[in-house]
């Protein structure tokens, strides 16, 4: 998450304080912890086990707190989520073809101002499909959209869409 925030210019220029973040694929909690440190309210969706430091995180000064929704993304219903979601973050270990329909549904419902996505190129053949994947995202994500290959893992593409200025 820190790498994505730095690349997108959100690591200090803009505060995430008070933003409501929906994180898909939150376990074990590294990205969630980063977002919490920046002052965000994080709703983490994952069937996996979260780090105890993330589960117990509460910053009285910023109000940052973690809420674990221990369920599969496909079972999320509107009543599980807050009425307003400012940012959607996804780091699910699923192929883009599986992730994109979930994202589209959530974006149409919540209209977040910002998305930070790590798209996993789970198979070599997907690497040649990055343009198509970005085209699919452009149908429903806020603009502008930019993407880069993350240096930490050559099989991941970081996508940032929208911006905090709209929040």
Residue range 39-56: mean pLDDT, rounded: 97
CB under 8 Å, gap of 24 or more: what pairs does 3-12 form? 3/150, 3/151, 3/152, 3/158, 4/116, 4/118, 4/150, 4/158, 4/160, 5/34, 5/38, 5/116, 7/148, 7/158, 7/160, 8/116, 8/146, 8/158, 8/160, 10/160, 10/164
Domain ranges for the chain, please list them.
2-8+19-166
pTM: 0.92
CATH-assigned architecture of domain 2-8+19-166? 3-Layer(aba) Sandwich (3.40)
pLDDT value, residue 10: 79
57-77 pLDDT, tens digit per residue, is 999 999 999 999 999 999 999
């Amino acid at each position: 998450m820190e790498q994505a925030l730095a690349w997108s210019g959100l690591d200090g220029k803009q505060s995430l304080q008070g933003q409501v973040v929906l994180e898909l694929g939150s376990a074990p909690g590294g990205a969630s912890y980063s977002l919490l440190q920046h002052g965000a309210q994080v709703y983490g969706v994952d069937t996996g086990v979260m780090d105890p430091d993330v589960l117990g995180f509460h910053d009285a000064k910023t109000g940052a707190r973690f809420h674990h929704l221990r369920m599969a993304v496909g079972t999320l219903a509107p009543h599980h989520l807050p009425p307003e979601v400012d940012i959607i973050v996804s780091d699910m270990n699923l192929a883009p073809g599986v992730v994109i329909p979930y994202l589209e549904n959530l974006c149409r419902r919540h209209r977040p101002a910002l998305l930070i996505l790590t798209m996993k190129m789970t198979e070599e053949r997907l690497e040649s499909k990055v343009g198509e994947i970005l085209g699919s995202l452009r149908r429903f994500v806020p603009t502008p959209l930019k993407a880069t290959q993350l240096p930490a893992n050559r099989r991941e593409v970081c996508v940032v869409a929208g911006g905090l200025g709209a929040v």
